């Protein structure tokens, strides 16, 4: 129980600790152990999910209750009676399958994410059991958007940074850049890709955004990102060449 010392002082007072303090420490230890043993389930916003009991017993249940968290009860079923659904945000969207005490949730919302508790009482022995299921609800990812950063052109080479992003920012989203080829002159860190490109180099890169329920991709061409290079080079050449042309024409007209 030393792990509880910073909060409750469990184990720090030896035999002088009161019996009530020991009971509190034991309760906290049990709750902590149960929280760590919660089974993980993921759901998708707008879709359905089923929270199932992972264990089976060889005798029927006398009572079943589902909780949204440790204390907020959402549904109770007692053998021989109608099930009772409590006033919560889940009331119109839940259904209990009494045969296997599975809780079905429809039209999932992000706020449905929680550690649910299943509490059961067995009919013959009267034993009580509690199981925990961690539900995390995510939105399916939209197609990534690409933002073009500063672009540097020189000596026929283009250096450009691009950033990949989705609307669902900060919700367990990871990014990965994949070149479509072997020889590349690029580096990536999360959503940012840095490319050094010149004509003839590898051209195609794909950004893939991933979360626990979906993934989405967007492909770019380095040549298109660097398309402005040619026009700028042409403008620089015109600045040098045009005065020479006008000077030559003026000289020819003057001599004639």
Q: What is the pLDDT of residues 193-249, one digit of tens each?
A: 988 888 888 788 999 999 999 999 999 998 888 875 333 333 333 343 344 444 544
Query: Is 10 in the same domain as 28?
Result: yes
Query: Is 179 in the same domain as 129?
Result: no
Which residue has better confidence, 106 or 123?
A: 106
Please determine, for residue 191, whether its predicted confidence score (pLDDT) is greater than 80: yes
Query: Is 55 in the same domain as 134?
Result: yes
pLDDT for res 77 = 92
Mean of pLDDT values over 173-180: 89
Query: Is 98 in the same domain as 157?
Result: no
DSSP SS3 for 231: helix
Query: Is 18 in the same domain as 52?
Result: no
Query: Is 108 in the same domain as 161?
Result: no
Domain total for the chain? 3
Please determine, for residue 75, whether its predicted confidence score (pLDDT) is greater than 90: yes
Query: Is 49 in the same domain as 125?
Result: yes
What confidence category does residue 79 fall into, taking pLDDT thresholds of 50, 70 and 90? confident
Helices and strands, counts by H and E, the chain: 4, 16
Please determine, for residue 4, whether its predicted confidence score (pLDDT) is greater than 50: no
Q: Against a cut of 0.75, is the pTM above it?
A: no
Mean of pLDDT values over 99-115: 94
DSSP SS3 for 151: strand
In CATH, what number is assigned to the domain containing residue 56? 2.60.40.10
Query: Is 77 in the same domain as 110?
Result: yes
**Considering the domain boundaries, does residue 254 fall inside one?**
no
pLDDT for res 39 = 87
**Considering the domain boundaries, does residue 249 fall inside one?**
no
126: number of Cβ within 10 Å: 9
**Considering the domain boundaries, does residue 242 fall inside one?**
no
Please determine, for residue 130, whether its predicted confidence score (pLDDT) is greater than 80: yes
Report which of 57, 140, 48, 38 is spatially closest to residue 90, judged by C-alpha positions.
48
When mean pLDDT is compared across 33-42, 85-94, 114-123, the lowest value belongs to: 33-42
145: number of Cβ within 10 Å: 13
Query: Is 19 in the same domain as 70?
Result: no
pLDDT digits (tens, 9 = 90+) for 5-42: 444 455 544 445 565 666 565 555 555 444 447 789 99
pLDDT for res 231 = 33
The string of DSSP codes covering 24-37 is HHHHHHHHHHHHHT
The overall average pLDDT reported for the chain is 78
Query: Is 59 in the same domain as 132?
Result: yes
**Considering the domain boundaries, does residue 252 fall inside one?**
no
Query: Is 80 in the same domain as 1?
Result: no
pLDDT cut 70: percent of the chain above it: 70
**Considering the domain boundaries, does residue 172 fall inside one?**
yes
Query: Is 205 in the same domain as 180?
Result: yes
Query: Residue 68 sits in which domain range?
Result: 38-138
**Considering the domain boundaries, does residue 58 fall inside one?**
yes
Distance, CA of 170 to CA of 172 (rounded, Å): 6
When mean pLDDT is compared across 6-10, 106-110, 176-180, the lowest value belongs to: 6-10
Token pair 């999360």 in the structure block, residue = 190
**Considering the domain boundaries, does residue 156 fall inside one?**
yes
Q: Which two tokens stand for residue 50?
A: 């089923």
**Considering the domain boundaries, does residue 163 fall inside one?**
yes
pLDDT for res 241 = 39
Distances (CA, A) of 185 to 26, 67, 138, 159, 218: 59, 54, 35, 10, 19
């Amino acid at each position: 129980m030393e792990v509880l010392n910073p909060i409750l002082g469990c184990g720090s007072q030896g035999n002088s600790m009161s019996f009530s303090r020991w009971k509190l420490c034991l309760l906290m230890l049990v709750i902590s152990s149960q929280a760590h043993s919660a089974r993980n389930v993921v759901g998708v916003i707008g879709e359905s999910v089923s929270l199932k009991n992972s264990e089976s017993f060889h005798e029927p249940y006398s009572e079943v209750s589902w909780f949204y968290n440790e204390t907020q009860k959402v549904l109770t079923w007692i053998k021989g009676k109608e099930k009772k659904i409590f006033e919560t945000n889940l009331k119109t969207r839940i259904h209990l399958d009494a045969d296997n005490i599975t809780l079905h949730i429809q039209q999932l919302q992000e706020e449905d994410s929680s550690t649910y508790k299943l509490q059961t009482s067995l009919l013959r022995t009267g034993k009580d059991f509690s199981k925990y299921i961690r539900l995390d609800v995510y939105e399916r990812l939209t197609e990534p958007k690409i933002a073009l950063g500063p672009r540097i052109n020189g000596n026929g080479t283009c250096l450009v940074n691009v950033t990949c992003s989705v609307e669902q920012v900060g919700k367990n989203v990871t990014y990965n850049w994949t070149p479509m080829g072997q020889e590349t002159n690029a580096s990536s860190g999360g959503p940012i890709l840095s490319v050094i490109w010149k004509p003839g180099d590898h051209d195609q890169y794909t950004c893939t955004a991933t979360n626990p329920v979906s993934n989405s991709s967007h492909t770019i061409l380095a040549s298109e990102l660097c398309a402005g290079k040619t026009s700028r080079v042409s403008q620089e050449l015109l600045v040098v060449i045009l005065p020479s042309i006008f000077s030559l024409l003026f000289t020819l007209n003057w001599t004639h």
